[in-house]
Amino acid sequence: MAEERTFIAVKPDGVQRGLVADILGRFERKGFKLVGLKLLTPSRSLAEQHYGIHRERPFFPGLVGFITSGPVVAMVWEGAGVIAGARVLIGATKPLEAAPGTIRGDLAMDIGRNVVHGSDGPESARFEIGLWFHPEELSSWEPADQGWRRQA
Ligand code: DAT
Ligand code: MG
């Protein structure tokens, strides 16, 4: 399986509730590689582009208002199968239906306060990484213990 990258964000509710370390730590402990990380309050333009696919949905204005309401922790994680794998760690969009052990299953109740975002496929991952990060903000590096995370 080829190495790939995905965009993950701790939403404002996760930051306000002090869940950043817990959420970040789950990706870290899984073995995925952190290649980009920053805290920012998204502009309306960034939020509208990020959620552009939902532009016509009734929840869109509330969603944009929520995601721009405070700081977000934006991240890029790398690894073989990380795009789908991160979605498994995140759990279902509706937190009450998310499996226990997943981020949303463990840490959230409400679809409008589901604490974390993850790209849903290779195309959205590429788009979202380019939207949130400049190329020079991403680091290519090799963990010293990579051979203990993934068989060569
Ligand atoms: P996901 O975040 O699991 O990729 P999505 O892309 O379908 O889910 O929707 C993006 C976000 O929009 C989701 O995390 C929460 C919000 N959302 C989706 N459906 C909603 C709904 N029916 N009512 C309120 N918010 C909703
Ligand atoms: Mg989505």
SS3 state of residue 38: strand
Query: Is 117 marked active-site?
Result: yes
The answer for residues whose C-beta is within 8 angstroms of residue 31's C-beta and 6 or more apart is 79, 149, 150
In the prediction, which pLDDT does 1 show?
Answer: 82
Q: Are strands 3-10 and 72-80 parallel, antiparallel or unpaired?
A: antiparallel
Nearest-ligand number for the alpha carbon of 115: 1
pTM of the model: 0.98
Instruction: Using the structure block, give the residue that is written with the tokens 């051979």.
Output: 147
| pLDDT score at 7 | 99
Q: Which atom of ligand 1 is nearest to the CA of 11?
A: 14
Distance CA 73, CA 57 (A): 25
Let me know: does 117 contact 27? Beta carbons within 8 Å: no
Per-residue pLDDT of 82-110, as tens digits, reads: 999 999 999 999 999 999 999 999 999 99
Q: Is the shortest distance between the CB of 59 and ligand 1 below 6 Å?
A: yes
Give nearest CA residue, ligand 1 atom 21.
Answer: 59
Asked if the model's pLDDT at residue 148 lies above 90, the reply is yes
Q: Which atom of ligand 1 is nearest to the CA of 117?
A: 2
pLDDT at res. 149: 94
Averaged pLDDT of the chain: 98
Q: How far is CA 85 from the centre of its chain?
A: 12
Q: Which tokens hold the place of 54? A: 């939902």
Model confidence band, residue 2 (pLDDT cutoffs 50, 70, 90) = confident
With b for 16 or more beta-carbon neighbours within 10 A and e for fewer, the 107-129 pattern comes to bbeeeebbbbbbbbeeebbbbbb
pLDDT at 95: 98
Å from CA of 147 to ligand 2 middle: 32
Mean pLDDT (whole number) for 2-14: 97
Distance 22 CA to ligand 1 centre (A): 22
